[in-house]
């Protein structure tokens, strides 16, 4: 897995969300630098778990769709009687 990175616009939004969370839920002020450092820590140390969960969820969806496609193909098969005769 490659390193989780965000564009500067994405990082700014995520930092603001963290700052807001700290202020509203924890009644703590966190500086811009500390908040960016915390975001980098979360991305590097915890990001893989969220990434892997997303991949697992995506794989479940793909497998379900593949089963649906296989069922649909089976439904449109034409009967062929000459294979049944010996």
Q: What is the pLDDT along the chain (86 residues), one digit of tens a residue?
A: 678 889 999 999 999 999 999 999 999 999 999 999 999 999 999 999 999 999 999 999 999 999 999 999 999 999 888 766 55
pLDDT at 54: 95
Pair of tokens at residue 43 = 């991305």
List C-alpha distances in Å: 6 to 14, 58, 86.
Answer: 9, 21, 65
pLDDT at 5: 87
Neighbours of 21 (CB within 10 A): 13
Residues 31-57 as b/e (b if ≥16 CB within 10 A, e otherwise) read eeeebbeebeeebeeebeeeeeeeeee
Q: Domain coordinates of the chain in residue numbers? A: 8-79
């Amino acid at each position: 897995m490659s390193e989780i990175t965000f564009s500067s616009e994405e990082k700014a939004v995520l930092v603001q969300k963290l700052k807001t969370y700290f202020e509203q839920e924890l009644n703590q002020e966190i500086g811009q630098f500390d908040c960016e450092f915390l975001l980098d820590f979360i991305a590097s140390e915890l990001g893989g778990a969220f990434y892997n969960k997303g991949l697992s969820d995506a794989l479940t969806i793909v497998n379900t769709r593949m089963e649906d496609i296989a069922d649909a193909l089976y439904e449109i098969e034409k009967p062929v009687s000459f294979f049944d005769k010996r």
